[in-house]
Amino acid sequence: MAPLRQTPRYAATALMAQILPIDDASIARAASILRDGGLVAFPTETVYGLGADARSDVAVARIFAVKNRPDFNPLIVHVASKDAAANLVSFDARAERLAARYWPGPLTLVLPRRADCPVSLLATAGLATLAVRVPGRDDARKLLRTAAIPIAAPSANPSGRVSPTTARHVVDGLGDKVDLILDGGACAVGLESTVVDCTTDTPTLLRPGGIAREDLETRLDTPLALAEESGDGPKAPGMLARHYATELPLRLNASAPQAGEVLLGFGAVSEATLNLSARGDLTEAAANLFACLHRLDDPAYAGIAISPIPEEGLGRAINDRLRRAARR
Ligand code: TXA
Ligand code: MG
């Protein structure tokens, strides 16, 4: 008789989290969860990623909710190959060169989105660019090939905590908030990918990581520009005010529209042209935010009035983005 399957190693600490060793069967299961809008933590060579369908505003909003991330920094989208990346973004000669040398591997390239790029605006924080990478591990790429959709994946840890390099870290940090955790042992790199922005005249190092700057400079035959430093490291591009700005002025905490304004509602408001979430759900509101702002940013109106959003949970991130967008 075949031996009984061993009790999962983490049963004692995380009763609800589903953890499976990464293999063909668990990859097939994970791929179908991802395609259905679920969250799957999976190993990459850098850190464990918290993956979701990058095309889905709702799935991406769940990433922010589960991580309790205080802002909507743009996420890295993972694909199985350079060809798959080329369906999302445009490569110039420099990007071709870096991809040919470092992919699969711990390099993320920020490139212009293609006009037909299906990635959610929430995943890219409304930017015209997209960060893409092809992870180094064969099993991670197999998951991406099987799912056959672009996967947005930040590190699989609560915001502000150390990045996870084992499945155990993921369990400890996120527990049952994830639909499935694929256990592939320890991550080889253990440090996030190097992020290089190839949309600037000189490619810009946005985040130091798994590939050394010197190697990239040798490969490109030119020094990289460095992102503006803030107190605690490179400034996250998603935090720049103009990335979220609308053409129309925004008026926050509005109870009703004034003459010429259009109202973007939250909760039960009667005069709203669009509603972030009629039932007052902050995850739903986060998923709708960028798409609603795009739709209402129409010169037919004098301005966009926005209902009050509670300053809690994802509401903080929504308000942070709205305040930046409202600043003139
Ligand atoms: O190693 C990694 O890269 C891990 C594993 C899971 O692959 N992923 C990861 O993802 O660290 P994430 O989403 O946490 O990293 C996002 C980084 C941030 O520094 C963000 O500001 C930058 O990439 N980024 C994303 N999209 C960008 C864009 N369009 N322009 C500039 N920077 C971008
Ligand atoms: Mg992280």
**Residue 128 and residue 44 share a domain:** yes
**Residue from 42, 45, 69, 75 to probe ligand 1 pocket by mutation (most atoms less than 8 Å from CB):** 75
Indicate whether 163 pLDDT > 90.
Answer: no
Residues 105-150: tens digit of each pLDDT: 999 999 999 999 999 999 998 899 999 999 999 999 999 999 999 9
CA of 312 to the centre of ligand 1 (A): 24
Residue 109 lies in a domain: yes
**Residue 264 and residue 172 share a domain:** no
Phi, psi of 275 (to 5 degrees): -130, 130
Reported confidence tier of residue 13, pLDDT bands at 50, 70, 90? very low
**Residue 205 and residue 267 share a domain:** no
Domain boundary among 192, 226, 260: 226
**Distance separating alpha carbons of residues 47 and 187, to the nearest angstrom:** 6
**Residue 22 and residue 84 share a domain:** yes
* Cβ contact 40:33 at 8 Å: yes
Question: What integer pLDDT is reported at residue 123 of this predicted model?
Answer: 94
Three-state secondary structure along 18-50? CEEECCHHHHHHHHHHHHCCCCEEEECCCCEEE
Question: What integer pLDDT is reported at residue 16 of this predicted model?
Answer: 61
Reported confidence tier of residue 160, pLDDT bands at 50, 70, 90? confident
CA of 196 to the centre of ligand 1 (A): 10
Question: What integer pLDDT is reported at residue 15 of this predicted model?
Answer: 46
Atom nearest to 163 CA in ligand 1:
11
Residue 79 lies in a domain: yes
Reported confidence tier of residue 8, pLDDT bands at 50, 70, 90? very low
Atom nearest to 131 CA in ligand 1:
26
**Residue 119 and residue 57 share a domain:** yes
**Residue 188 and residue 50 share a domain:** yes
The domain in which residue 258 lies consists of 250-326
Q: Is 325 in the pocket of ligand 1 (CB under 6 A)?
A: no
**Residue 118 and residue 166 share a domain:** yes
**Residue 294 and residue 192 share a domain:** no
Instruction: Judge residue 100's burial from the number of C-beta atoms within 10 Å of its C-beta, 0-12 exposed, 13-18 middle, 19 or more buried.
Output: exposed
Q: Is 183 in the pocket of ligand 1 (CB under 6 A)?
A: no
**Residues 6+ positions from 302 with CB-CB distance below 8 Å:** 248, 249, 259, 260, 261
Residue of the CA atom closest to atom 20 of ligand 1: 74
**Residue 162 and residue 37 share a domain:** yes
Q: Which helix (H) or strand (E) holds 142?
A: helix 138-147
Averaged pLDDT, 152-167: 88
Residue 313 lies in a domain: yes
Averaged pLDDT, 257-268: 97
* Cβ contact 130:110 at 8 Å: yes
Atom nearest to 129 CA in ligand 1:
29
Residue 171 lies in a domain: yes
Q: Is 85 in the pocket of ligand 1 (CB under 6 A)?
A: no
Residue 233 lies in a domain: no
CA of 154 to the centre of ligand 2 (A): 6
Q: Is 84 in the pocket of ligand 1 (CB under 6 A)?
A: no
Residue 57 lies in a domain: yes
Residue 298 lies in a domain: yes
**Residue 303 and residue 214 share a domain:** no
* Residue 177 DSSP SS3: helix
**Residue 321 and residue 199 share a domain:** no
CA of 311 to the centre of ligand 2 (A): 23
**282-306: b (≥16 Cβ within 10 Å) or e:** bbbbbbbbbbbbeebbeeebebbbb
Q: Is 192 in the pocket of ligand 1 (CB under 6 A)?
A: yes
Q: Is 45 in the pocket of ligand 1 (CB under 6 A)?
A: no
Structural domain count of the chain: 2
**Residue 65 and residue 172 share a domain:** yes
Reported confidence tier of residue 63, pLDDT bands at 50, 70, 90? very high
**Distance separating alpha carbons of residues 192 and 179, to the nearest angstrom:** 23
Averaged pLDDT, 17-36: 96
- Supply the CATH number for residue 39's domain: 3.90.870.10
Residue 237 lies in a domain: no
CA of 247 to the centre of ligand 1 (A): 27
Say if residue 104 is preceded by a cis peptide, omega within 30 of 0.
yes
Amino acid letter at 176? D
